[in-house]
Amino acid sequence: MTTWMWLLLLFIIGQRLLELKIAKRNEKWMKERGGIETGKEHYKWFLIVHSLFFISIFLEVSLQNRMDHSLNYFLLSLFIVLQTLRIWCIVSLGRFWNTKIIVLPRVALIKKGPYKYVDHPNYIIVGMELFVIPLLFGAYVTTFVFPILHLILLKIRIPKETEALSMLSK
């Protein structure tokens, strides 16, 4: 892997670890106020798939043994846009943003930021990231496999989340 690849991969992994820390803090805050967690049974699969995503990129690039993979500035720009949108999602939900499904009963559904325009914008962004990030590295198998795994998980997660969020209107 080239230096820029290592730096970018470490940046993304660091970003994800920071997001898990934010999610844990938000989880604690919500549960202290009566937050209810649902969908625990499938959450581990998100952790597994997202961990394997980074391992897959590393292995695929390492097996290619190419030191001449140049940085694609269009893909990098797209990645930066996606990161900006990702941050917009997190900031828009504030203390309610989480990687788990946790709701606070009798709290209105947040409909600001990207959530004002589309349901589940974060999942759309993550799906696009799972396509763009491996393309940046030239990891084409990863580019194909992980968006599909993401969609499979969302077929389980979105109905669970929709059901949990419907509690907010009661």
Going along the chain from its start, the domains and CATH numbers come out as: 3-169 (1.20.120.1630)
pLDDT tens digit sequence for 26-84 = 999 999 999 999 989 999 999 999 999 999 999 999 999 776 789 999 999 999 999 99
Question: What per-residue confidence (pLDDT) applies to 170?
Answer: 56
Question: What per-residue confidence (pLDDT) applies to 108?
Answer: 87
Q: Which long-range contacts (CB under 8 A, 24 or more apart) does 81-84 make?
A: 82/125, 82/128, 82/129, 82/132, 83/15
Question: What per-residue confidence (pLDDT) applies to 169?
Answer: 61
pLDDT, average across residues 90-118: 94
